[in-house]
Structure 1
Amino acid sequence: MAVDELDTRILRLLLEQPRTSVREYARVLGVARGTLQARLDRLERDGVITGTGPSLSPAALGHPVLAFVHIEVTQGHLDDVGDALAAVPEIVEAFSITGGGDLLTRVVARDNAHLEDVIQKLISLPGVVRTRSEVALRERVPHRLLPLVEAVGRTAGKRSSAARPGNEL
Structure 2
Amino acid sequence: MAVDVLDTRILRLLIEQPRTSVREYARILGVARGTLQARLDRLERDGVITGTGPTLSPAALGHPVLAFVHLEVTQGHLVEVGDALAAVPEIIEAFSTTGGGDLLTRVVARDAGHLEDVIQRLIQLPGVVRTRTDVALRERVAHRVLPLVESVGRAAGDRDRPGPGAGRG
Q: CA-to-partner distance for each residue in 1:111-153, whole Å, 9 max, x for gaps?
A: 0000000000000000000000000000000111110000000
Structure-2 residue corresponding to 1:18: 18
Structure-2 residue corresponding to 1:160: 160
Task: After TM superposition, give the deviation of residue 83 of structure 1 in Å.
Answer: 0.2
Task: After TM superposition, give the deviation of residue 162 of structure 1 in Å.
Answer: 3.3
Q: Share of identical aligned residues, percent?
A: 83
| Structure 2: distance between partners of 1:114 and 1:130 | 19
- In the superposition, the TM-score normalised over structure 1's length comes to 0.96
Task: After TM superposition, give the deviation of residue 161 of structure 1 in Å.
Answer: 0.9
Task: After TM superposition, give the deviation of residue 167 of structure 1 in Å.
Answer: 5.5
Structure 1 residue ranges without an equivalent (≥5): none
Structure-2 residue corresponding to 1:78: 78
Letter in 2 for 1:43: L
Structure-2 residue corresponding to 1:142: 142
Structure-2 residue corresponding to 1:60: 60
| Structure 2: distance between partners of 1:81 and 1:114 | 21
Structure-1 residue corresponding to 2:40: 40
Letter in 1 for 2:86: A
Structure-2 residue corresponding to 1:133: 133
Q: Name the CA shift for 1:167/1:11 in 2 (closer, same or farther; >3 Å).
A: farther
Task: After TM superposition, give the deviation of residue 166 of structure 1 in Å.
Answer: 3.1
Letter in 1 for 2:128: V
Structure-2 residue corresponding to 1:151: 151
| Structure 2: distance between partners of 1:72 and 1:78 | 9
Structure-2 residue corresponding to 1:122: 122
| Structure 2: distance between partners of 1:7 and 1:83 | 35
- In the superposition, the TM-score normalised over structure 2's length comes to 0.96
Letter in 2 for 1:148: L
Letter in 2 for 1:120: Q
Structure-2 residue corresponding to 1:106: 106
